[in-house]
Structure 1
């Protein structure tokens, strides 16, 4: 049975897999109300967030097909089997995707790596002019869409919001970003990272390893785990995450429109 879940129901569901469901828990705790759920005999069987992205989790996610099809969805993303169930039920009533990305490894780290001795720091609003183009390049590299062409004002506003919420970090040398990253979700159990990036002119100089090591050390002081997911063909990123000690834990799938 489809329901509008309560916060307690969502938190109980997310607690069963706090890494895979970190985004859902973060969105629920932040008061986003765009959720639907499948009620089972012993709590929720499935949960789905509806925003610009649709994020399903659990079993029986095909039940969310009508809700997903009724929205201007940019992407269905989440645990691979959950996305597969939803997309199988919705594909006949949704636009043809421009890309389907199964098998995206989820990585997790729960032990602090050695210090990177970088110049990592929290981003400030004064960094916005160098961060916005860097974040846009990262977005285009990852998703194939230039956000500064689609929604330049909104993208700048979202980048600034990440800074104001303490979810953005960088390491600079002059105007060059040697390393940067953002938190896409943050709960008492885990921080999920996104937008991990090094300026192309500064790559292959170990800046990524050093910056990410220091960021993970910082986050693990207060949070049990750091996690992220990555395209399987992005071999430099895979090597980076494994160098800092991350281990694979499950797979995501993205269906992009």
Structure 2
């Protein structure tokens, strides 16, 4: 079947994402917010066979993602991330143009939950701007643990602004006692069909006391009042996090792959 690379319309992107709303939650969120730039592989009937977000993170999806190599290289990304098959097709076709990877993370499980778990009875609440000074270093540490990059050294002002924006947009939640973060998390993507969480975090002195499982249950219950599904993904070697997500009732449904530069 003949296909061609196009700049997709928002309507095409949303129709494509509706076919797999969990796998494509980030792509749909970006499209609905009118952010970023997309390329797509279009079929003869004007539907999309593949889609790719082009930015600091290049996020491919679908079949035939090797077609995005040139566009991805021009974006000079810090990361390729997305459904494992799509990322693999793009990466294997574009190794020479995309440069040397510093990490290649295969088989990152994506967890999903659609039924509310039991209540955790925690003090979880939406983060407020008064929490900003507490959240910025915690978010930075979580970012470093995940990506081995200190955002407060790379772009301190930008990172603080992004943390503030998450609070202002209602995408940040926290539970604190005596200035200690017993749990925090943010929404990295939010669509009518799913919320994708990121940076689930407990201050190190407060870990291994059950705070995360209780607060995550409360957060999932809160979000399932607004959307049909809550999802997240995790590094394959992060056994404690995987146990946490399984404990609260989340199910492993697909795999992502991340290639970091």
Shorter-chain TM range is: over 0.9
Query: Could you tell me whether the CA contact under 8 Å between 2:36 and 2:55 is conserved in 1?
Result: no
The RMSD of aligned alpha carbons is 0.7
SS of corresponding position for 1:231: coil
Q: Report the equivalent of 1:166.
A: 170
TM-score when normalising by structure 1: 0.99
| Alignment deviations for residues 86-141 of structure 1 (CA, whole Å, 9 cap, x no partner) | 10111111220100000000000000000000100000111000000000000000
Which of residues 68, 75, 80 in structure 2 aligns to 1:76?
A: 80
Which of residues 13, 31, 38 in structure 2 aligns to 1:28?
A: 31
| Alignment deviations for residues 188-209 of structure 1 (CA, whole Å, 9 cap, x no partner) | 0000000100111000000000
Equivalents in 2 of 1:127, 1:49: separation in Å? Answer: 32
Q: Report the equivalent of 1:8.
A: 11
Equivalents in 2 of 1:108, 1:72: separation in Å? Answer: 31
| Alignment deviations for residues 30-72 of structure 1 (CA, whole Å, 9 cap, x no partner) | 0024000000134100000011100000000001100111122
Q: Report the equivalent of 1:215.
A: 219
> Is 1:240 aligned with 2:227?
no
What residue ranges of structure 2 are gaps of 5+ in the alignment? none
Q: Report the equivalent of 1:94.
A: 98
Equivalents in 2 of 1:40, 1:201: separation in Å? Answer: 54
What residue ranges of structure 1 are gaps of 5+ in the alignment? none
SS of corresponding position for 2:27: helix
TM-score when normalising by structure 2: 0.97
Equivalents in 2 of 1:138, 1:33: separation in Å? Answer: 24
Query: Could you tell me whether the CA contact under 8 Å between 2:7 and 2:40 is conserved in 1?
Result: yes
Mapping of residues 93-132 of structure 1, within 5 Å:
93-132=97-136
Give the total of aligned pairs: 257
Q: Report the equivalent of 2:152.
A: 148
Equivalents in 1 of 2:197, 2:44: separation in Å? Answer: 34
Q: Report the equivalent of 1:227.
A: 231
Equivalents in 1 of 2:108, 2:36: separation in Å? Answer: 27
Equivalents in 2 of 1:33, 1:115: separation in Å? Answer: 37
Q: Report the equivalent of 2:41.
A: 38
Equivalents in 2 of 1:238, 1:62: separation in Å? Answer: 31
Q: Report the equivalent of 2:259.
A: 255
Instruction: Detail structure 1 runs of 4+ shifted over 6 Å in the superposition.
Output: none
